[in-house]
């Protein structure tokens, strides 16, 4: 292979579309813009969602719903995850280091999903009623 023999792959390069260059080109006269109207003119376009003066769809529909920004600081941990973790005392820092909750989590709650056989002491972590019963049944405590 020589430097003077290098070529781009077939189909990688194609000629730029030259509009308004006569009938023979296939894009002469109106240059592919059709006849008259706003879209045929230079600088003639409109904002996204504009419907020609008709009330746009995003304004016809009612505003609905709300997503709390504080939810991103909440996290859940299952009983199964606590079982696999295998620590006697669990707090927020231990869960973050184990990767069970996100680094920005501030409020953590244990939910009843799976089984727990080991005694686990929770500090600074909430638990649902069912999860609390399961933890206490296994000999642990929720503080």
**pLDDT for res 122:** 95
Residue pLDDT tens, the chain, 143 long: 899 999 999 999 999 999 999 999 999 999 999 999 988 999 988 889 999 899 999 999 999 999 999 999 999 999 999 999 989 999 999 999 999 999 999 999 999 999 999 999 999 999 999 999 999 999 999 98
Provide the domain limits for residue 35: 15-50
Q: Are residues 82 and 120 in the same domain?
A: yes
- Global pTM reads 0.56
Q: What is the CATH number of the domain that holds 77?
A: 3.100.10.10
Would you say residue 104 lies in a domain?
yes
Q: Are residues 79 and 39 in the same domain?
A: no
Would you say residue 64 lies in a domain?
no
Q: Are residues 32 and 77 in the same domain?
A: no
Contact call for residues 109 and 77 (beta carbons, < 8 A): yes
**pLDDT for res 55:** 97
Instruction: Kindly report the backbone phi and psi dihedral angles of residue 115, in degrees, each rounded to the nearest multiple of 5, phi listed first.
Output: -120, 155
CA dihedral 136→139→140→143, nearest 10 degrees, is 60
Would you say residue 35 lies in a domain?
yes
Q: Are residues 92 and 125 in the same domain?
A: yes
Question: Reading across the β-sheet that carries 121-122, which strands appear in turn?
Answer: 89-90, 121-122, 141-142
Would you say residue 65 lies in a domain?
no
Helix (H, G, I), strand (E, B) or coil at 135: helix
Looking at the structure of the chain, the number of domains it has is 2
The helix/strand count (H/E) of the chain reads as 4, 6
**pLDDT for res 54:** 96
Would you say residue 63 lies in a domain?
no
Would you say residue 90 lies in a domain?
yes
């Amino acid at each position: 292979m020589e430097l003077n023999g290098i070529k781009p792959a077939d189909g990688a390069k194609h000629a730029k579309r030259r509009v308004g260059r006569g009938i023979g080109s296939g894009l002469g006269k109106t240059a592919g813009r059709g006849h008259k109207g706003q879209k045929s003119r230079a600088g003639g376009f409109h904002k996204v969602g504009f419907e020609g003066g008709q009330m746009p769809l995003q304004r016809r529909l009612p505003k609905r719903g709300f997503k709390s920004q504080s939810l991103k600081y909440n996290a859940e941990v299952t009983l199964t995850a606590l079982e696999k973790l295998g620590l006697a005392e669990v707090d927020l820092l231990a869960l973050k280091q184990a990767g069970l909750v996100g680094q920005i989590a501030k409020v953590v709650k244990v939910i009843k999903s799976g089984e727990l056989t080991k005694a686990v002491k929770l500090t600074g972590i909430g638990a649902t009623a069912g999860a609390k019963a399961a933890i206490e049944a296994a000999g642990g405590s929720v503080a």
